[in-house]
Chains A and B, each alone.
Chain A
């Protein structure tokens, strides 16, 4: 099984997670820029974070045999923070042009404030200028109304829906998005927003067309193996290998390939890790012998 994991915050995970994911079939991870669990106080920490997800994190992932792509954005939660919002918007255009950046995200709404809408719209314009697909974070509270508001904004802007991924969907939101022509994402957590069992039920009801699943694994209670665990449940429920491949490989490939920044054929291979390799002079070895792996 080949897996493109389209929403993982690997910045918050350990190297063991990469190794377990590689063993479970993950060949590509996509890391959206997001909120780090506490607010940042200056644009410098955003710049360092952005540099890490196109730098060290990409290196670390490839050392474990997994390609690493990312999306860049001012996340909706910190769009509310005047210490950083405008300054991040100023540096974003140069980061949206970096090689491993294949989309804009996570943008969207969280607490559904006026400021969030302002930066959501401004970033959607950036998505057009840089010709990138867009990953949209939807609120965890008052979710259905948040979905409706996101969709209304997109329609107001006459945004091409084929370039939109509305993430963190659930049973109540999926009927809203099926006819829009956008991609619907599901973040599968151990217990909360969505779980493997509920996910299978949704797929049985709504099919796999324009659907994407991810673990959204981050700094909280989350599981980087939740896509493979959902695959197992799908197999037990009788889904064909071709359908599963479409869901966990072809759909995310097709969506993010709209960026024109990667060759899908290359992603079918594994990066060839050389544990002696360095990034800015640093390897992952921590003094160990490269031959011991």
Chain B
């Protein structure tokens, strides 16, 4: 869908694809831990791109993220294996799996990992999953991911101080309920004498009354 292959080492990609042809998902499980080591963590070239309803800011991506996405796509990876790659992944592997969701259709694995993002205390994994793309917005209404789940995701983003602009398209789903949740956080912060999320007013304005 997005053309990222040009930024991957061609020899590495050829060999990895051959291993996937020979070994399928088992080969993918073995290739995944070495991704960052093999292709590096340098930033990708390219900013915001849109294709077929997907919107991604590749400035947030690294070469190893693109490599992971390419392998997941090449292996025609099942949802079970995508979740398995996350659950058995180390810090980098988990980051790569989470980022790959932004360039794929919303499947059962996406919804399950959106749930993992909501539960994790590792902010890098939360951001890799829900920020810098319209994943959360386009997941709404698919499978059992509901509008309220998207609100809770944005609220967690607000709670840890992430800018609204990193959640592409989220305000397309705005409603008075979202305003209530965001205002509730602001009220609690004011009562505690703490800083209020700077994007509170923008969200409330978008939600109407």
Contacts and interface: CB of A to CB of B under 8 A. Distances in A.
A217 interface: no
Contacts of B37: 99, 261
B31 interface: yes
B10 to A, nearest CB: 21
A93 B25 CA distance: 13
B141 interface: no
A94 interface: yes
Interface string B129-160: 00000000000000000000000000000000
* Interface size of A as a range: 10 to 19
Contact of A94 (B30, B92, B120, B121): B30
A282 B120 CA distance: 11
Contacts, number: 36
A199 to B, nearest CB: 36
A287 interface: no
A281 B36 CA distance: 23
Contacts of B88: 47, 51, 94
Interface in A83-100: 93-99
A278 B30 contact: no
Contacts of A93: 26, 29-30
A268 B29 CA distance: 32
A94 B90 contact: no
A282 B30 CA distance: 28
B33 A94 contact: yes
Contacts of A51: 88
A271 interface: no
B34 interface: yes
B32 interface: yes
A172 interface: no
Q: Which of A51, A95, A98, A278 has the most CB of B within 10 A?
A: A98
B209 interface: no
B121 A281 contact: yes
Contacts of B29: 93-94
Contacts of A261: 37
Given A47-B88, A54-B90, A55-B90, A97 B34 contact: yes
A152 B34 CA distance: 33
Interface string A192-225: 0000000000000000000000000000000000
Contacts of A280: 120-122
Interface in B9-37: 26, 29-34, 36-37
Contacts of B122: 280-281
Contacts of B120: 280-281
A278 to B, nearest CB: 7
A47 B29 CA distance: 14
Given A93-B26, A99-B92, 20 more contacts: A47-B88, A55-B90, A94-B29, A94-B30, A94-B33, A95-B33, A96-B30, A97-B31, A97-B34, A98-B90, A99-B34, A99-B36, A99-B37, A261-B37, A278-B121, A280-B122, A281-B120, A281-B121, A281-B122, A282-B121
Closest 4 CB pairs of A and B: A281-B121, A97-B33, A97-B34, A94-B29
